[in-house]
A and B are shown apart, each in its own frame.
Chain A
Amino acid sequence: MAIIEQPRTNVALPAGTGAPALVTPKEAKGMFARPVEPKGWRDWVFTVDHKKIGIMYGVVAFVFFIVGGLEAMLIRLQLAAPNGKVLSAEQYNQMFTMHATTMVFLFVMPMASAFANYFVPLQIGARDVAFPRINAFGLWTFVAGAIFVNLSWFLGGGADGGWFMYAPNSTKMFSPGHGVDFWAFGLQITGIASLTGAINLIVTCINMRAPGMSLFKMPIFTWMIMVVQFLLVFAMPVITVALFLLSFSRGFGGAFFDVKQGADPLLWQHLFWIFGHPEVYILVLPSFGIVSEVLPVFSRKPLFGYKFVAISGAAIGFVGWGVWAHHMFASGLGPISVLVFSMATMMIAVPTGVKIINWTLTMWGGKLRFTTAMLFAIGLIVEFTIGGLSGVTHAVAPSDTQQTDTYYIVAHFHYVLFGGAIFGLFSGFYYWWPKVFGRLLNERWGKANFWLMVIGMNLTFGPMHIVGLQGQPRRMYRYDESNVHARFWNAISTVGAFVLALGILCFIVNVVITHRSKNPAVKAPLDPWDARSLEWMTSNPPPAHNFDAIPTVHELDEFFHRKYAVDHETDEIKQIATAEQIMAEQMAHAEKDIHLPSPSYWPLVVSLSLPIIGFGVIYSHILIAVGALVTILGLFGWSMEPSVATKDDYEPPAPTDDAIKELTA
C-alpha cells in the first residue's frame, strides 16, 4: 500500500518530448498560492484529509437531523389534536416534503458518508481515500446542495409535492412556486456529491487495501459501504434523468408530464422508484454494517457467517433493483407487473432475514456487554424486524392496495428508517466516538438516550399502524373531533414524538458534557472495547497519516488475532499481546518520509460554482453561464495542480532533503 498520489521527481521521461515532463508547482499553482499548511478554520475548509472530511460530514448531517426533526415536531404538533392550527394546508405540504427530503438526503445519506469516509480507509489500512480532493469536493458539494434546497424556505416556500414528488403533480401547473425548482436542482447537486463520493470509495476499496487484505478479509462495515457505493453509482444517474425531465418541464416547457399531449403519468413514478428502491437500501445498509461490527465486539465472538452477511448484503443490493414497482401497486400497473414485482419483493425478504439470523446467532452464547452501542444494535434488530414484517404485508399486493397512502405505510417506513438506519448510526456514534475524538461518551446519559429513543419511537410510530389500518390517510393535514380513535392515537403519537426528541436531546447533552469534562476518566484508552478490526490499531484519534506502519493483514479481524491466540495445550483462547504492545511495535517500525496529499482550494471553488448555476436555472439564465465558467476554471486549476504540494509551494521554501541530512548528520 503506497502513499497516494505522491509525485516523483525521477519520472520516466517520455522519449521525444524534449522538455522535462514534470511540472514544477510554481507553474502549476496558477493564480493562488497553495494553502500548504493552513491553520485554524482554514485547516478544515481546505483540507483533503478523509478524517476531517468525515467529521465535517457528520457535523453538517447532524445539523440537518435537527432541522428535519424540528419539521417532524411541527407535523406532530399539527396533528396532536383535531383541527390543528399550527400549520396551514400549504405549510403542512411543505413541511412533510422537506422533513422527508432533509432526513433522507441531508441526514442519513451524508451521515453514512461521514462514517464511510472516516472508517473505510482506517479499516482497510490505507492512509487516505483514492482521490482526496474529490473527497473534499464531495463534502462541499453536498453542503452547497443542502443549503440550496433549504434556501427555498426563505425564497417563497419549500417544495410541496411529497418526498417522491410525483409529476405531473409537481409541474408548474400544480406547484407554481419555486420550491420544487430548488428541490430538483438541490438534489441534483447533492447527487453529484454522492456520485463522486461513491466512485472514490469504490476505487479506495478496490485499490487501497493494506497488503494481505483480500476482499473477504475486509471488515463487514467496509463491505456494506462498498455495496452501498455501487448502488449509488448506478442509482444516482436514474434520479438525475428524472430530475432533469422535471426541471426541463418546469423551466423550458418540456412536455414530458403534460397529459394533454399524451404523456404517461407513470413515467416519473417508474424513474423515481427505480432510483428510490435502491435508495432505501442505501439508507439502511451502512447501519447494517455498523451493527455487524458492534455485535461481535460486545458479544466477544466473531460475526456469525461473515461471508453470508457480506454476500447477502450484496444480494440485497442486487435484488433491490428488481422491486421498484412495489411502490406503485395501486397505480394501475396491470396484473402481470403487479405479480412479478410482488414475488420479487417477497424474495428480498430472504437475504434480509439471513442478516437478522446471523446477528442473533452472533449474540447466541456470547459474553454480552450491554454498552449503549450494543443496546442500539440490539434495538436495531428488534425494531427493524417489526418494520420488515409490516413490509412483507405490503408485498402482498391486495393487502397493499388497502394500506397504501395510509398511516400504516408511514409506520412501516419509520420502523425501518428510524429503527433501522438511525439506530445503527447511533450505535456507531457510541462505538466509534472514542476513536474519533479520543473520549468516551457517558454511558449513563447514553442509556437514557437509548431508552427514551426506543420508548419514544414505539409510542410515535406504533399507533400509526392502528390509525393507518383504520383508514387515516397519509399526508392528511387535519382531522375533526368526531373521529374518537384518531384523536386518541394521534395524541399518543405526538407525546411519543416529544419523548423521542428528549432522547435525542440526551445525546446532545452527552456530547457536550463529555467534551467539557475535565475528569480524566473520559479519556479513551487505546482499545476501549477490546475491538477486532484494523481501525483500532492506531492511536485515538489517529494521526494524519493513520498508521505509523501500514500493517500486513493475515486474518479477518486482524487486530483480534494479534491480541489473542489459541493455546494449543489447553485449547483456550489466550491473550498474547495488549493493544499498547501492538501499537508500540508499530511505532518502532514507523515509516519515514510519508507524504500526504496537500490541501487545495479547487474542490471548494468547483463546489460553490454549482449553486450559482442553480440560481441561474431558477432566476436568470445569464447566471448559468457565469456558474459554468467558474466550474470550468476551477476544473482547470484543479487538473493542473499536483496532488501533493512540492517544496517550493511552501513559504519560505521548505528545506531540501540534503539540507535536512546535513542538519541531522
Chain B
Amino acid sequence: MSTAVEHASLGTDPNAEHTEHAGHGNSHYYLVALALAILTGLEVLLSYIDIGAAFMPLLLTLMMIKFIMVVLEFMHLRKDAKVFHFLFWSGFLLAIAVYIGFLATFKFFLQP
C-alpha cells in the first residue's frame, strides 16, 4: 500500500516535530523496548502460573499497555498532531466496539 502512497515532493519539511525528536537521544527508545520486553515476559509468565480470576483482566491490561506504548512512543503519536490521534483511534475504538458487539451476539462472553 504505502509504495502507492504518493510521495509529495516537499523539499521543506512542514513538520516541526522532527526536530523535536532529535532532542531526546535514542536511549529513550531503548528504554521503551526494554519495558516492552519485560511486559511480554510477564505475560508469558502469567500464562504458566495459576492466579485464578485475575488472569484474564491482567493479561488483557498488559496487552493494551504494550499496544499503546508502541503507538505513542514508537509511532510518535504522543507528540503528534491531534488529527492523527483522531484518525487512528476512531478506527481502533470502532473496531473494538463493533466486534465486541459482534461476539456478544454469539453469546461469546457467556461461555464458561
Contacts and interface: CB of A to CB of B under 8 A. Distances in A.
Interface of A: 4-8, 10-12, 22, 130-134, 137, 196, 206, 230, 233-234, 238, 264, 266, 270-271, 274, 321-322, 325, 333-334, 337, 606, 635-636, 638-639, 642-644
A334 B4 contact: no
Given A206-B83, A333-B105, A638-B3, A321 B11 contact: no
B21 to A, nearest CB: 15
B109 interface: no
B87 to A, nearest CB: 8
Nearest to B86: A206
Interface centre among B3, B6, B9, B94 (most CB of A within 10 A): B6
Contacts of B11: 7-8, 10-12, 22
B41 interface: no
Contacts of B105: 266, 270, 325, 333-334, 337
Given A5-B8, A131-B5, A321-B97, 13 more contacts: A4-B8, A5-B9, A10-B11, A22-B11, A230-B90, A234-B94, A238-B98, A270-B105, A635-B4, A638-B3, A639-B3, A642-B7, A644-B9
Question: Main secondary structure on chain B at its contact with chain A?
Answer: loop
Contacts of B28: none
A134 B4 contact: yes
Given A134-B6, A638-B4, A12 B106 contact: no
Given A206-B83, A270-B105, A643 B9 contact: yes
A614 B102 CA distance: 30
Given A12-B11, A234-B94, A270-B105, A635 B6 contact: no
B7 A639 contact: yes
B107 interface: yes
Contacts of B8: 4-5, 643
A4 B5 CA distance: 14
B56 to A, nearest CB: 23
A6 B9 contact: yes
A233 B106 CA distance: 26
B23 interface: no
Contacts of A606: 4
Given A10-B11, A264-B106, A334-B105, A274 B98 contact: yes
A636 B3 CA distance: 7
Contacts of B104: 337
Given A12-B11, A264-B106, A643 B94 contact: no
Nearest to A638: B4
Interface residues of B, number: 23
A12 B12 contact: yes
Nearest to B94: A234
29 contacts: A5-B9, A10-B11, A12-B11, A12-B12, A22-B11, A131-B5, A133-B6, A134-B4, A134-B6, A137-B4, A206-B83, A234-B91, A234-B94, A238-B98, A264-B106, A266-B106, A270-B102, A274-B102, A321-B94, A321-B97, A321-B98, A333-B105, A334-B105, A636-B3, A639-B3, A639-B7, A643-B6, A643-B7, A643-B9
Contacts of B107: 334
B16 to A, nearest CB: 14
Interface string B88-112: 0011001001100110111100000
A275 to B, nearest CB: 10
Interface in B1-53: 3-13
Nearest to A603: B4
A131 B6 CA distance: 6
Contacts of B106: 264, 266
Contacts of A234: 90-91, 94
Contacts of A134: 4-6
Given A270-B102, A635-B3, A7 B12 contact: no
Contacts of A636: 3
A130 to B, nearest CB: 8
Contact of B9 (A7, A12, A132): A7
Contacts of B97: 321
Contacts of B94: 234, 321
Nearest to B8: A5
B99 to A, nearest CB: 8
Contacts of B101: 322
Contacts of B3: 635-636, 638-639
Nearest to A325: B105
A639 B3 CA distance: 6
A636 B2 CA distance: 11
A639 B9 contact: no
Nearest to B95: A234
A512 B97 CA distance: 50
B100 to A, nearest CB: 12
A199 to B, nearest CB: 9
A643 B4 CA distance: 12
Nearest to A133: B6
A307 to B, nearest CB: 19
